[in-house]
Amino acid sequence: MTTSRGRPLAALSLFLVLVSISFAADARVFRAGAAMSNITPQLGEGIVGNFTIPPATHVHDELHARCLVLDDGSTKLVFVVVDSVSVNREVFDAARRALERDTGIPGGNMLMSATHTHSATSARGRDAMAMRNPSGEAGERSPLDDYQSFLVRRIVDGVKRAVNHLEPARIGWGAGQVPQHVFNRRWVLKDGKTAVNPFGGQDRAVMNPGSRPDLDRPAGPVNPEVYFISVESVSGRPIAVLANYWLHYVGGVPTGHISADYFAVVADRLQQLLGADRQDPPFVGLLANGPCGDVNNNNVAQPDRKKYAPYEKIRLVADDVAREIARVRASVQHQDWVELRAASTDLVLRTRRPDGDAVEKARRVLARPATVSPIHRLEKNYAERVISAAEWPETLSVMLQVVRIGGLGVAAIPFEVFTETGLEIKARSPFPDTFTIELANGGYGYLPTPAQHALGGYETWLGTNRVETGASDKIVAKLLELLAVVKREASGMR
């Protein structure tokens, strides 16, 4: 009798457990929120990104920190994309600390990056060539300048407002093709020829070589894809699109103008194309840069002879990118819920430091009268960089990070990364879809591969590149480990 009564009770218990699990799964709510903070500096500040630093005399378009928060019910992820050529880690870390304190979101769940516009003022601090570990040389954090402190406050405000905007949402992602605007800017010279560099050495590869007749081939690949993450309300109202295109800034900005370059125009066009103007809360477009340290918008093989008006080419590129995102997004199936995860670690890299002979040579170059012809037009610029590099710490701790959004993996690297490195991460990732955001969580110059170091060229020069020649291999290995970690942490729920 006990047995016969026990079986129905056991079946009932199992039924109730299954109902409870089903109810819990149905009760899951995915949420998203987005916001922007204006980070435009005052006029008169120096515009950085080139070897001269003209003062800002006009604001063509405002700069922003664009913020997106995702929430699967147990994990929140934060994305911040800042209109800047590069942002020091200590700025992002200060924003993380404030946000962790005020929102409870773990700092390791916040991915912050710079777009690499070359028409903004500096977020690198008083000495842009200085390089410190995040805690400073003597264990104390380097003080932030006025603009860096302002940027921290604006990032914090933007993320908090995005949290305030969290609402039930759906999410999807996809990739389109925009091959017509990406070209490798490094070219190998024919027949073993070389070009002199600012240190008196010889390079096999030349950046932006123009129309010289001794060009052999591009030194590396490009990636024609544009990736994107789309979030919308449960009623279908666009909330945000976070895109990722592997192209340097476009340029064509008059001297003295502040501009967010094509990154902001893509966001603006998406708002138009998706019919998301004047919403409440406002739609936010974000374009995070991908591995494009060796890629720009100039086709050396078939030069474009057209003379573009200021901002004309920016609008052309942005329109093509935005239209392709909108086209692919129209067929993307947005999901009601996906699992979110994040993982990060610090990786210690050796820095490249000049020896005594190099420093002495640099001092001689800087002391030389202006009447002496230089061996290279940038000889004095790089002599100054050699002097600065002598003061760098022997090692540098950089933050590497990955996030998981359902079946999508995103890697984050604090360098200007070569496209071949991003393609390797994508090919070896455990996720079916993966893209990489560069200049994320800091900015430490260019990251050539060992093979590209052997070819030489601007991106490999001491002062442009700051870390050991094998750094890209170490970074890829560590990111693949992190991607495997967030893959294993999946709960199995889809």
DSSP states of 125-166: -S-TT----TT-TTSSPPPP-HHHHHHHHHHHHHHHHHHHT-
Query: How do the pLDDT tens digits run along the chain, 494 residues long?
Result: 444 455 555 554 544 444 444 444 557 999 999 999 999 999 999 999 888 899 999 999 999 999 999 999 999 999 999 999 999 999 999 999 999 999 999 999 999 999 999 999 999 886 655 666 554 443 345 689 999 999 999 999 999 999 999 999 999 999 999 999 999 999 999 999 999 999 999 999 999 999 899 999 999 999 999 999 999 999 999 999 999 999 999 999 999 999 999 999 999 999 999 999 999 999 999 999 999 999 999 999 999 889 999 999 999 999 999 999 999 999 999 999 999 999 999 999 999 999 999 999 999 999 999 899 999 999 999 999 999 999 999 999 999 999 999 999 999 999 999 999 999 999 999 999 999 999 999 999 999 999 999 999 999 999 999 999 999 999 999 999 999 999 997 654 33
Count of Cβ atoms closer than 10 Å to residue 348 Cβ: 10
Nearby residues of 207 by Cβ (< 8 Å), 6 or more positions away: 185, 186, 457, 458, 459
- Asked if residue 189 lies in contact with residue 215, where contact means CB atoms within 8 angstroms, the answer is yes
- Asked if residue 120 lies in contact with residue 256, where contact means CB atoms within 8 angstroms, the answer is no
Can you point out the beta strands (E) in 317-393?
Answer: 340-350
**pLDDT for res 415:** 98
Give the closest residue to 247 by CA, choosing from 175, 298, 205: 298
Give the closest residue to 93 by CA, choosing from 342, 480, 445, 443: 443
User: What H or E segment, with its residue span, contains residue 453?
Assistant: helix 450-455
Cis ω for the linkage preceding 281 (within 30 of 0): yes
User: What H or E segment, with its residue span, contains residue 396?
Assistant: strand 395-405
The structure tokens listed for 18 are: 């299954």
The structure tokens listed for 101 are: 């304190």
Give the closest residue to 72 by CA, choosing from 156, 173, 171, 155: 171
Give the closest residue to 151 by CA, choosing from 247, 86, 69: 86
User: Could you give the C-alpha distances from 456 to 96, 182, 194, 348, 447, in angstroms and in order?
Assistant: 37, 21, 9, 24, 12
* Ramachandran angles phi, psi of 114, nearest 5°: -110, 150
Place of tokens 């604006």: 154
Place of tokens 């600390």: 97
The structure tokens listed for 151 are: 């940027």
How many CA atoms, within 13 angstroms, populate the side-chain half-sphere of residue 134? 17
The structure tokens listed for 251 are: 């340029």
**Bridge partner list, 48:** 120
| Amino acid at the residue 475 | I
- Using DSSP, state whether 203 is helix, strand or coil: strand
- What angle is formed at CA 395 by the lines to CA 394 and CA 397, rounded to 5 degrees? 155
Give the closest residue to 36 by CA, choosing from 282, 390, 296: 282
Does pTM top 0.75 for this prediction?
A: yes
- Between CA 240 and CA 109 the distance in angstroms is 18
Give me the long-range contacts of 210-215 (CB less than 8 A, separation at least 24): 210/300, 211/300, 211/303, 214/189, 214/190, 215/187, 215/188, 215/189, 215/190, 215/300
| Amino acid at the residue 302 | Q
* Ramachandran angles phi, psi of 393, nearest 5°: -65, 160
- Between CA 210 and CA 265 the distance in angstroms is 28
**pLDDT for res 2:** 42
- Between CA 59 and CA 47 the distance in angstroms is 11
**pLDDT for res 1:** 43
- Between CA 444 and CA 467 the distance in angstroms is 8
